[in-house]
Structure 1
Amino acid sequence: MAIKVVPRYGNSLKDKLYLPGIAGGMKTTFKHFFKNLKDVGGVNTLQYPEVQPTDITPRYRGVHRLTKHDDGTEKCVACFMCATACPAECIFIEAEERFDGVDEKRPKEFKIDLLECVFCGYCVEACPCDAIRMDTGIFSFTSSKREDFVLNKKALMANEKSKDFE
């Protein structure tokens, strides 16, 4: 089997100055700029957040929620699978023993930091009890304080499933 030698590009002065790349990018930018300048009415503008997008699919991941049993208790058994699967390490769980005979333990404290979360959905996939979901339909979460972005167990249990995901 012969070894294939692949030539290396970018050694010329023209390539090192990046001028052809910059010129090509500016050409594309100005082409769109002048096209939109001629037809201002044809530019699609959404007055977000007052007008929400309508093209969001049911698979789009929103803010998290904790699911409940029929009696209103949380389904989470504090197995730490969601926190282990989370690449952003934004899920914090403190477990406590459970004495109601439903499960062995439950989360005493369950927090998700939405500012650190990358909304990948790994926590939903890792959960063996289907206790955490991202189907609330809440896609823009705003606040003026950092503390409001850390959702505790009470806030996560209060989040409901969006009607759009049914």
Structure 2
Amino acid sequence: MSIKIKKITRNKMSFKQRIYLFYISLGMLRTLKHFFKNLLNTKNIDFLEYPEQKPTDITSRYRGLHRLTKNEDGELKCVACDMCATACPAKCIFIMASEVESKKEKAPIKFSIDMLECVYCGLCVEACPKDAIRMDSGIYTKTGFDRQSFVRDIVELSNTKGGF
């Protein structure tokens, strides 16, 4: 059995086509048009002064920063089952459990989420059998100066209130 190879000849592009000069100039013209339009008429530019003004077009399905929920007694609902950490594709959730003397058998003594690694997929929320973790905090951004400030621990996660 022989394999037939078909050779395809390519036509040479002219110098004008190779440097894309026409298309580059079209893009620059469009950019300059928008620039001068906005420069001369600044009153029609929509902007939001973020920390003072919150966005109004956020739906209830928006995934904000994580929070841990509490039951009526003020205890965390989390039973440290490790389901959220198992479901997380980014492996950014770390839980250390200990035994407790209350109704539940285990509770987390360490619970942290590395927000720089999180992809905000929501699989941790879906995997939790106790509805202990949610992404409805209403906090849209997290800022910091070093990597450690983006790791949210159990204290910060449990003190965050729901925003929607």
Is TM-score (shorter-chain normalized) higher than 0.5?
Answer: yes
TM-score by length of 2: 0.77
- Which structure has the larger Rg? 2
Q: Distance in 2 between matches of 1:18 and 1:155?
A: 53
State the 1:12 CA deviation: 4.3
Quote the residue 1:112 is aligned against: 113
Q: Distance in 2 between matches of 1:15 and 1:122?
A: 48
Change (3 A) 1:89 1:28: farther
Q: Distance in 1 between matches of 2:18 and 2:47?
A: 38
Change (3 A) 1:106 1:51: same
State the 1:99 CA deviation: 2.8
Give 1:38's match in structure 2, choosing from 20, 26, 40.
40
Change (3 A) 1:36 1:126: same
**Mind listing any 5+ residue stretches in structure 1 that lack a counterpart?**
1-10
Change (3 A) 1:41 1:95: same
Quote the residue 1:71 is aligned against: 73
State the 1:48 CA deviation: 2.9
State the 1:111 CA deviation: 0.4
Quote the residue 1:135 is aligned against: 136
What is the aligned-residue RMSD (CA, Å)? 2.5
| Greater Cα shift, 105-114 or 16-25 | 16-25
Quote the residue 2:6 is aligned against: none
The CA deviation string for residues 50-109 of structure 1, in whole angstroms up to 9 with x for no partner, is 333232222222221111121122111222221122222211111222332x22322121
Q: Distance in 2 between matches of 1:43 and 1:95?
A: 51
Quote the residue 2:57 is aligned against: 55
Change (3 A) 1:22 1:107: farther
SS of residue paired to 2:81: coil
Quote the residue 2:87 is aligned against: 85
| Greater Cα shift, 61-70 or 46-55 | 46-55
State the 1:23 CA deviation: 4.0
Q: Distance in 1 between matches of 2:49 and 2:85?
A: 36
**Mind listing any 5+ residue stretches in structure 2 that lack a counterpart?**
1-11
Pairs aligned (count): 153
State the 1:124 CA deviation: 0.9
Percent identity between the two aligned chains: 56
TM-score by length of 1: 0.77
Q: Distance in 1 between matches of 2:88 and 2:13?
A: 45
State the 1:15 CA deviation: 6.2
